[in-house]
Amino acid sequence: MAGQPTISRFFKPADRSKRDKRVVSLPIASCSSSREKSQNVDVVDLEDSSVDSTEKSDLGLEATAVGKRFPDVEKWSGMSTAKRRKQDLSGDSLGPRGARGKDGSRMKLDRLTPLDQQVKELKDANHDKLLVVRVGYKYKCFAQDAVIASSILQIKLIEGKLTFDGSNPQDSEHKQFAYCSFPDNRLHVHLERLVRHDLKVGVVEQSETSAIKKFSKDSNKSNVFVRQVTNVFTKATYGINNTFSSDSRRVLGDTCSIWGLHIVECGRRRMKVRLLSIALNTGDIVYDEFEDSELSTEQLDIRARYLEPKEVVYYEKLPTKVERLLSGRDCSFHLRGLPLESEDVNERLKEAQLSTEYSKLYNLLYEYLKEYSNEKLLLIPSSFKPFAAATYMLLSSNTLESLDIVSNDGGKGSLFWLLDHTRTSFGSRILKEWVLRPLLCRADIEDRLDAIECLKEEVSTVFFEALNQILKSTSDLQRTLNRIAYGNTSRNEVYFFLKQISKLGSHFEMHSNDLKSRISIDGGRINRKSRLLTRLISEMMEYSHRMTMPLLFSMINASAVMEKDVERQTTEFFNLNNYDHPEVIIQRQREINSVQEELAEELNRIRTILKRPHLNYKDETDYLIEVRNTQVKGLPADWIKVNCTKMISRFHTPNIIRLMEKLQYHKDLLLRDAENEYKSFLSRIVEEYAALRNYISNIGIYDSLLALAATSCNGNYVRPKFTDKKQYIKAINARNPVIESLDVQYVPNDVNMSEKDGKVLILTGPNMGGKSSYVRKVALLVILAQIGSFVPADFLELGLFDNVFTRIGAFDNILRGESTFKIEMQEILQIIRNCSSDSLILLDEVGRGTGTEDGKAIAYTILEFFLAEPKCPLVLFTTHYTLLGLTQSPLLSNFYMDYVEEKRAGENWPTVVFLYKLRPGTTSNSFGLNVAKLAHIDTTIINSAFEVSERLREEYSLTRYTSRASHMKEILSSHTSSCVQKVTELLSWIEQEEFDRE
């Protein structure tokens, strides 16, 4: 082996006398393999004794100065291509842990390592973000970012400077920044954990490789690798911007929105609110302008409930009450200065049919979304729509919660859960919007009902059966389309998106003749039965005929998409036989082939030297030459030994190393050009964004109609009939749809409410007798009918209602200083202020939040108020105050939930058996002791309570009740005050009475 260069000859024990010598960190020296020589390395300051083992492993060295050990070359050479590409990203040194003087004391080290200096510059330009920086095969956080990340992620913090600006006194003791790190394959896990803590996280990637850095004329080979922020994530943008696959139907940020908000006080404790809301997953931009009360913020609360904001961007200070409201909904706030208005902003607003008053919010959001590369959505006029419209209801937060319209966790027991038989995620979102916004236009309701009835009859035909099967395997096309528009999608997603769109298109094309006969010709079955279904199918057929998605889909190489090797997936993504711009990629492939031919020629030369005509490289990755150890002595002196076993040694010639570097350079160029071609390919899909969005929306509407049809196929569901009569509802054997669906034996009841049968229904009866269930059932029947769904009843006829209001349940809000009674009065105030003669109102046990006498007086005066209204709405009034039934009015009807009393041995009180059947009349007892028995309270306690109850009943006097009721009626009957002023005066008087009594 004399004269034979080996790896050990390229490493020598470090000279401890030479401190802070500037060297280039090279893994496996400059002699192992070209892959090793091309490893990404930054110029750094090395210090033999002060660099700990963690840092030296990052440099590709292991305790060089102490143990004289080197990396495992054989293990490294045997790595897969993907792993070595990860290694190719490494090589940035973090420098020494902290130098010491001759006396052993710490020296002040103000000069940063090149990597730390680069990170500091990135942080200065992105001070509002927590930066996660790629360094080799890991991601690292530095300085104060590392302190935050290590605490949240529960990973080790390596000591160093704790601040970027050196403001921490201990920073002078360290030369490099403190840091924490995690493997790159765990990025998506840690990102989600960070953004859930309301952090804005910037991901910094390396934008050049070692091969390009070495061969490029423009690159400075002595500098660190170029890095830049490539992605920014927050709670609202994580779901749409991440490139990680998810099998879950719901992802972080799936339904939430980003608000641009501006509020101006306009006197009398009123405020004018203007907002732009952007839902990145759906692509919807909602705009609204309205007045609201500074005290209740009722209208803003409704919009927050519907739009689910997670981030609020504003340019002027928001009222404290507004911040408190939105903070309670887990919102983060971002105060921004107003950017300069672009010249074309007014033109964009005009295209979106918005007034120029929205220009400031538009510019504000446009600049904000630029950070996440999501601003393109604001350039699409068809994405804008108003929040409030005259065609649908806006149910209040109280109504949504008390009727369980939707549940926060998507679990059982809500109306949406009952109806959600959708096959797609985007169909589910459309159905949820329908449930939250019942229709007010009778023609639109009838269109949905016609479509449901038509689908029930046509669903078994070949076309619809096949279409429904396709939808079962359809991913979230709406979300993927928006990710494509933002440029954040993976090749895998694009492939399956185009495949699914093409599959749907070919299905419509295959059945086009049959469909035309059903919808295009007068008298066709679908055309005759449903205008809505006819329109949906016609539009989907028309776009399926002209779409270019099948052509784009044919340009993709399916086998490459399934590749786990990222490099192959990138470079071989296109089917070059069908791709219409293959020139650049083909040229790069030719250059690679040329280098590979040179390597083949080098192999022939080696065969001649070794006199082995059948010799081959060990593999086509490392191009190693295997020689038996007995033949090593005769090899050329410039051959470099890479590794060995007992039997053989493996070598590189200098020419092989040169050609491998050249090969890697051309491969990196191919990767870069393939990425550029991919971006150009995405832009061709985005050109059809508006048409694709409408196409997917139509599929989602069809899916929602199919879900309602599935619900309507349940036993004893009927189509509701709408009448021109106002304040009218009649149902036979109606049932509560949610309770019935929970496998509970439900007792049906009739509903009769009208001007003739009584607009105000007082419902009494025992506790747990079914009063609340009954009134909720009436409200759910109305909402279901106006969604356009069939309903659980033998018969239902009703007029159109403009809204449903509820005052159900009892709770307080201690943090906001609101008692149960105050919340109850505020809710009644909101109902009185917002209801009309066409509203449906549910009042459940009004007055329970205060003393018995005050409660009865309040309930009586509220009841009198509605009965005195010239245009009284329909009111369902449940109460335990049986004296309310004595009120005389032609608009009033009294009912109770039936029961049977039984006297049992050992019990002083009667046991009640609930019959859950509605009967005319009133009851004189609420049988609360029976509930105590059901709760397994001791019998002796219940007996004692019964005796006390009977004694108090005899002693009770109506004197105080009558005087209070008279005074309250006087307040509410005043003709000099508005409704709001009346209830406000009433509330103030009651609070003063309570204070005087105390």
Among the residue ranges 218-222, 271-275, 842-846, the one predicted with the least confidence is 218-222
Among the residue ranges 94-103, 483-492, 594-603, the one predicted with the least confidence is 94-103
Instruction: Output the average pLDDT for the chain.
Output: 80
| Signed CA dihedral, 307, 311, 316, 322: sign only | positive
Q: Are 181 and 135 in contact (CB under 8 A)?
A: yes
Q: Which amino acid is at 675?
A: E
pLDDT one-digit tens code per residue, 944-965:
666 666 565 555 544 444 455 5
Distance CA 301, CA 397 (A): 7
Q: Which amino acid is at 203?
A: V
Q: What is the mean pLDDT of residues 932-950?
A: 65
Q: Are 357 and 289 in contact (CB under 8 A)?
A: yes
| Signed CA dihedral, 946, 947, 948, 950: sign only | positive
Distance CA 140, CA 153 (A): 12
Say if residue 91's pLDDT is above 60: no
* Predicted pLDDT at 225: 78
Which has the closest alpha carbon to 365: 308, 287, 429, 433?
A: 287
Distance CA 125, CA 164 (A): 12
Which is more confident, 46 or 396?
396
CA trace torsion 26, 27, 29, 34 (10° rounding): -100
* Predicted pLDDT at 970: 60
pLDDT one-digit tens code per residue, 313-331:
999 999 988 998 998 888 8
Say if residue 841's pLDDT is above 80: yes
CB atoms < 10 A from the CB of 984, how many? 15
| Helix and strand numbers, DSSP H then E, in the chain | 38, 28
Distance CA 540, CA 505 (A): 8
Residue with tokens 């039934």: 885
pLDDT one-digit tens code per residue, 620-669:
888 999 999 998 988 999 999 999 999 999 999 999 999 999 999 999 99
Which is more confident, 959 or 309?
309
Strands 760-764 and 874-878: parallel
Q: Are 697 and 74 in contact (CB under 8 A)?
A: no
Which is more confident, 673 or 521?
673
Among the residue ranges 169-183, 510-524, 673-687, the one predicted with the least confidence is 510-524
CA distances from 762 to 792, 867, 887 (A): 23, 12, 10
pLDDT one-digit tens code per residue, 187-235:
989 998 999 888 999 999 987 666 566 656 555 555 777 899 988 888 8
Residue with tokens 């009284």: 872
Which has the closest alpha carbon to 489: 685, 668, 671, 673?
A: 685
Q: Are 109 and 216 in contact (CB under 8 A)?
A: no
Phi, psi of 714 (to 5 degrees): -65, 160
Among the residue ranges 313-327, 797-811, 828-842, 909-923, the one predicted with the least confidence is 909-923
Say if residue 737's pLDDT is above 70: yes
pTM: 0.78
**Domains (range + CATH), the chain:** 1-186+200-206 (no CATH), 583-685 (1.10.1420.10), 731-997 (3.40.50.300)
* Predicted pLDDT at 955: 54
**3-state secondary structure string across 640-694:** EEEEECCCEEEEECHHHHHHHHHHHHHHHHHHHHHHHHHHHHHHHHHCCHHHHHH
* Predicted pLDDT at 560: 92
Strands 648-652 and 640-644: antiparallel
Q: What is the mean pLDDT of residues 445-458?
A: 94
Task: State the pLDDT confidence band at 729, using cuts at 50, 70 and 90.
Answer: very high
Residue with tokens 């990767």: 671
Q: Are 686 and 667 in contact (CB under 8 A)?
A: no
* Predicted pLDDT at 980: 54
Q: Are 597 and 666 in contact (CB under 8 A)?
A: no
Instruction: Please tell me the total number of residues recorded for the chain in this structure.
Output: 998
Per DSSP, the residues of 35-67 read: HHHTS---EEE--TTTS-HHHHHHHT-BSHHHH
| Signed CA dihedral, 831, 837, 838, 840: sign only | positive
Which is more confident, 307 or 969?
307
Task: State the pLDDT confidence band at 59, using cuts at 50, 70 and 90.
Answer: very low
